[in-house]
Structure 1
């Protein structure tokens, strides 16, 4: 009996040691300690040469692959860090204690990943790097790496943001509503992203579903509640959200639906996550094999229209087939009615023409415009210097134009133009030729 107990104790010790080592190799936090070592030295001197030397010696050169990856993903430079450290000392001092809490959360995060593995047995290994950035992301992914900007992810309403410039207003709003208790769910969400085929879909529908899958699967795996405000707002008109989303979901840009604090009629951000989450919920509810449903969600090709539309239709979330909604979208898209003072395809345009007038079918967003090269490339793109004016009704825009004599021009009024209802313009190609002097 004693021998059996000894063997069992040894087995449990080995299992526990293996689990700890596996956790250590999955969740890496050394960048946090290195950053604060460098930070303390940097704050002791005004000598910028020494500041850069401390940053390099104690942080950047000792950095994990995750630090290098988040730097690549967000274009961080040594100057990014030095400027952030020198400009916002109150912020850094107030967030410091929270960043150390990451180590106490590691076991919970690792347990969440283990639960995800039970739900999705095909789970591929990935590493979670809790690093420190320069205030450009709280979390992202790159290949098989989850990259957490701990200075944002671990901040909360107690974090001091009074030093931040006006350009950081969106970040201030985010930090005021952030809660470090959501860190476990956030990390499992990001871990799901490392399993998906892409992190960038071709349109709003695909991107919202991509995010919705990560949120739904992480909630189901961990048993924790989503922090999405929309999911706990009883006053939210779900049918109205569905209708507005369906009219914009083929846009290539995300508008207020994702990653934005842009004002909207619902007074809620991240509603694209909400829509994607509920598509997944409906899909799972009608499935007979729930593990297979999770597998299909994660392995979906979000940029393949046939796969994407079939998945959404099978969920039954919308009141019409996606192809019918796409046809309606194309019918409702704003269009270019005419250009002036010359006609499109005119071969005798006066080279002294200094303005381009574009008339649209509906009132347009006057703050956003977009021109693209035609198939002939940049050599045939006219010099469009600036917007001169938009008509009061938003239907006519006038741009400053500079032309050369005897030159053929070709360009596209691009789908970055959008209506006041946030629907992308049907691209409109323009061709013309100026006469010789």
Structure 2
């Protein structure tokens, strides 16, 4: 009798959050469809047939979650066909695990319901266990939780022997046994569906919104985060904070999030730690804990005034955010000029074939980027070829193409950065070439 009662109460709790039909809010049909398509694709070497099988048996039958994860990660039919053909040992090694997805429904729904104990404003969201092409284990879009089962349901037995260097980092991820943490992953992603945005416009904003989801998931479930970066960050608090403070106003996330780029810490995703620690300290300092959770979830991460006030109240940083922002602005490298002509010159020789940009600091030679100027594509200064950075990193040269009597523009973008990771102040090249 106790079992019947407890089961009834559990189902009532689920239905109060997810609606009467919990199955409608936990979707795994894409996994079955994928394997049907996979078997047909592997049965032939005819590429035309392969694409037909993929589209007819998988994509066209796909759930809204499949459509969303394809949009979020820009997956195409080619993404899937290439992954299937290049990594058959990988796919065969994860098949059994992916078919276990349905078995997680009850536990995930129970853990999601725990969020409501600390956040009364919790809104329902559908969870889709779908299949991607090796770019995310979990994300959200338009209020949907999107699980990339091909990554989220892996373990140490997953075969990566076919993987090229650019995805070799997944070996370390699989060795952490992601399938054991898939319930917690869903709670993290579910929190994202409650936030105002999942795209921050600065490194700080993105780190706090990710850290918020992780912290709320930990607080609601009582489970520890399995993100290695959080434990590492706490052990190396001073140095991580120092380096992050110098880069956090960048408009890109660098090595701090979603990247295995080389860095002095030899750890990825440390932005999760910084955001987590900010939220944890904010929560610890608050007298009303439920109000603090509400403020963490509902924070407008892209409103700098709100974000800075939130970070300051946490006490994480050594100085107020306004002072740190001023220091950042003063530290940004600048373009000193162009070797071949003066900027805004209206008589530039159209025979010039090279452009050498001079910087105020040594730049990180791995990064460069340009944007269109205000006059748009019709007036863009065409870059033909990257020649290279100077040995000291304080200049970079490109081959260009100029025509007589033309107005050219090009923005040297802030994705150029110095050796300490601080972004360049954007610089508009604006010239007019002379008549021949």
TM class by shorter-chain length?
over 0.9
Over 3 Å counting, the alpha-carbon distance change for 1:420 and 1:59 in structure 2 is same
Counterpart-to-counterpart distance in 1, 2:7 and 2:370:
65
Deviations 1:88-116 (A, max 9, x none): 22111111111122222221111110001
**What residue number does 2:341 align with?**
342
Deviates more, 1:283-292 or 1:380-389: 380-389
Q: Which residue number corresponds to residue 125 of structure 2?
A: 126
- Is the Cα–Cα contact under 8 Å of residues 128 and 147 in structure 1 kept in the other structure? yes
Question: In the alignment, is the contact (CA less than 8 A) between 1:230 and 1:236 conserved in 2?
Answer: no
Do structure 1's residue 286 and structure 2's residue 257 form an aligned pair? no
Consecutive unaligned residues in structure 1, runs of 5 or more: none
Q: Which residue of 2 aligns with 1:400?
A: 399
Distance 1:86 1:345 in 2: 52
1:154-207 per-position Cα deviation (integer Å, ceiling 9, x unaligned) = 112210011122232233343333431111111000011111111111100000
What's the CA shift for 1:262? 1.2
Alignment check: 8 A CA contact 2:279 2:314 kept? yes
How big is the shift at 1:353? 1.1
Distance of 2:369 and 2:88 partners within structure 1:
39
Q: CA deviation at 1:22?
A: 4.2
Which residue is equivalent to 1:174?
173
Distance 1:260 1:68 in 2: 24
From the superposition, tell whether residues 346 and 238 of structure 1 become closer, same or farther in structure 2 (CA, over 3 Å). same
What residue is the counterpart of 1:68 in the other structure? 67
* Structure with greater Cα Rg: 1
Are 2:214 and 1:215 aligned?
yes
Is 2:230–2:276's contact at 8 Å kept on the other side of the alignment? no
Kept in 2, the 8 Å contact 1:137–1:152? The answer is yes
Shift in Å, 1:405: 1.1
How far apart, in 2, do the equivalents of 1:10 and 1:234 lie?
44
Which whole-Å deviations, capped at 9, do the CAs of 1:216-245 have from their partners, x for residues lacking one?
Answer: 000111111101213334883211100100
What secondary structure, in the 3-state scheme, does the structure 2 residue paired with 1:256 have?
Answer: helix
Q: Is the 8 A contact 2:14 2:109 kept in 1?
A: no
Confirm or deny: 8 A CA contact 1:412 1:429 kept in the other structure: yes
- Show CA shifts across 1:264-307 (max 9, x none): 11121110000000000110011011111111111111111111
**Using a 3 Å threshold, how does the CA distance of structure 1 residues 360 and 138 change in structure 2: closer, same or farther?**
same
1:253 CA displacement? 0.8
How big is the shift at 1:45? Answer: 4.0
Aligned-residue RMSD, C-alpha:
2.3
Q: Is the 8 A contact 1:133 1:149 kept in 2?
A: yes
1:17-416 equivalences under 5 Å are 19=14, 22-233=21-232, 236-416=235-415
CA distance in 1, matches of 2:197, 2:354: 42
Give aligned pairs, total: 432
CA-to-aligned-CA distance 1:398-428 (integer Å, 9 cap, x gap):
2212111112222221111111111100111
Within 2, Cα distance between the matches of 1:389 and 1:38?
46
In the alignment, structure 2 segments of 5+ residues that lack a partner are none
Q: Distance in 1 between matches of 2:244 and 2:51?
A: 47
Instruction: Indicate conservation of the 8 Å contact 1:356/1:398, yes or no.
Output: yes
Asked whether the 8 Å contact 2:233–2:240 carries over to 1, the reply is no
Give the stretch that moved more between structures: 140-149 or 338-347. 338-347
Decide whether aligned partners of structure 1 residues 90 and 185 sit closer, same or farther in structure 2, where only a CA change above 3 A counts: same
What is the CA distance between 1:49 and its match in structure 2?
4.9
Distance, in Å, in 2 between the alignment partners of 1:336 and 1:50 is 53
- What is the CA-CA distance between 1:387 and the residue it aligns to? 2.1
Partner of 1:424: 423
Equivalent residues of 2:230, 2:272 under 8 A apart: no
Does the aligned pair in 1 maintain the 2:233–2:274 contact within 8 Å? Answer: no
TM-score (norm 2): 0.93
